[in-house]
Amino acid sequence: MAVLHAQFNVADRDGDGVMDLHEFTVWRALKGMPSQSAAAAFALIDADGDGVISWADFSGAGSAHGLAALLYGPGPQ
């Protein structure tokens, strides 16, 4: 969980405690994910649909989909 929390804090560039789509897309681009894929992932992780990813959304997605999938995207299909 410490790795996940550290990555959340890196992605939350303005430090407001949530990631907006731009922050998430920039963070994912650093990991090589195309912006289209980042937008789709953002929508899935934003569990409550409020337009931002909170720590609860992010950690919940990590638990549901696994740490590697959240940090690096799905493995080869």
pLDDT at residue number 37: 78
Cβ-defined contacts of 43-49 (< 8 Å, 24+): 45/70
CA end-to-end span of the chain? 26
**Which superfamily, per CATH, for 2-68?**
EF-hand (1.10.238.10)
pLDDT at residue number 77: 40
Give me the percent of the chain exceeding a pLDDT of 90.
43
Residue 31 pLDDT > 90:
no
Residue 76 pLDDT > 60:
no
Q: What is the pLDDT of residues 32-63, one digit of tens each?
A: 877 777 888 888 899 899 999 999 999 998 88
